[in-house]
Amino acid sequence: MMATVLYMSISLDGYVSTPDDFLGGADGNRLHDWYAPGGAPEALTGEAKALAGELDQIGAVVTGRRTAELMDHWGGDVHNGVPIFIPSHRPPGPAARWGYPNVTYVLDGVASAMAQAVAAAGDRDVYVQGGYTAQKALEEGVLDEIQIHLIPVLLGGGHRLFDVLPSEIELEIVKVIDTPYATHIRYRVLR
């Protein structure tokens, strides 16, 4: 069954990046090391490999503008060319406007971006990322699940995933996968 799923790697102290938008560690990528242990994606095995493989099966992406711009919109192609929807309060810059046909800036809110992504994804999941985008999606009731990759590191500061929420939001644990590199916890958002 199709779902809108937030996928985020997070430090034990709740950060998704350092204050300067890196992901921790000497190479600036500590929070994503679980995905390619030792720099080798083939090192993943079992359930962790299947979990990482979910990203190859998505039908659309909804991401925050900050993330998209930091990544230069992934050159307009992320996860096998699926459509990328970016909720924003202002129009896209030139590269996203003319150079990246898979990228759509949605100027009328997160709920609209999620609806467009769901329509584009068909029966496949929508991959959601970004702290502000996740917070707004939860607030507007358009996020179905949260997949957290809890990394055994304390960043000590930076950007938090759930900094501001409108109210308490109940979750149900769906699955927990423990590996030497991360604890992966899947939650269903209860409505």
Q: Which residues are within 8 A (CB) of 104 and not within 5 positions of it... i.e. 6 or more apart?
A: 83, 84, 85, 86, 116
Largest CA distance in the chain: 43
What the block records as the tokens of 119 is 């329509």
How many percent of the chain have pLDDT more than 70?
96
- For the stretch 96-155, pLDDT in tens is 777 788 999 999 999 999 999 999 999 999 999 998 999 999 999 999 999 999 999 999
Which residue do the tokens 């990394």 mark? 151
Q: Give whole-number Cα distances, 120 to 6, 59, 79, in Å.
A: 17, 7, 14
pLDDT at site 39: 61
Label residue 37 by pLDDT band (50, 70, 90): low
Please return the burial class of 1, using the count of CB atoms within 10 Å of its CB with bins 0-12, 13-18 and 19+: exposed
Helix count (H) and strand count (E) of the chain? Answer: 5, 10
Structure letter (DSSP) for residue 52: H
Label residue 74 by pLDDT band (50, 70, 90): confident
pTM over 0.75: yes
